[in-house]
Amino acid sequence: MPGLLRGVARTAVVAGTATAVSNRVSRRQQGRWAQQAAPGAAASLVATPPLPPSAPLTDDMNDKIDQLKRLGELKAQGVLTEAEFADQKRRILSD
C-alpha cells in the first residue's frame, strides 16, 4: 500500500507541475500577442474616420429595396439571366 500512495503522490506532483508550467507559458504568450496587437489596433482606430449618421429610409427607397430583393430571387431561381438581371437592376436604381 505505501508504494501505491507514493506513486499517486508522485503523479499528483508531476501533473501539478505540468499544469503550472503550461499556465505560465500561456500567460506569457498572451502577453506577447497583446503587445504585438496593441500598436496595430491603435493605428487602425486612428486611421478610420467616423461613419456619418444614417438617414432613415424613405418609402421610395424601401420600394426599391423590395424590388431588388425580388429581382435577386428571380435570378437565383434561374428565371433571369445575368444580363437581364443587370439591366433590370440598373433600371430600378436609375429611377
Q: pLDDT tens digits, the chain, 95 residues: what are they?
A: 567 777 777 777 777 777 777 778 888 888 888 887 766 554 445 556 666 666 666 778 888 888 889 988 888 998 888 999 999 888 888 87
Residue with C-alpha cell 449618421?
Answer: 53
Expressed in angstroms, the distance from the first to the final Cα of the chain is 90
Q: Which three cell numbers stand for residue 73?
A: 430571387
Inter-residue long-range contacts of 27-30, CB under 8 Å, 24+ positions, other chains counted: none
DSSP for residue 78: T
Show the CA angle centred on residue 12, arms to residues 9 and 15, nearest 5°.
150
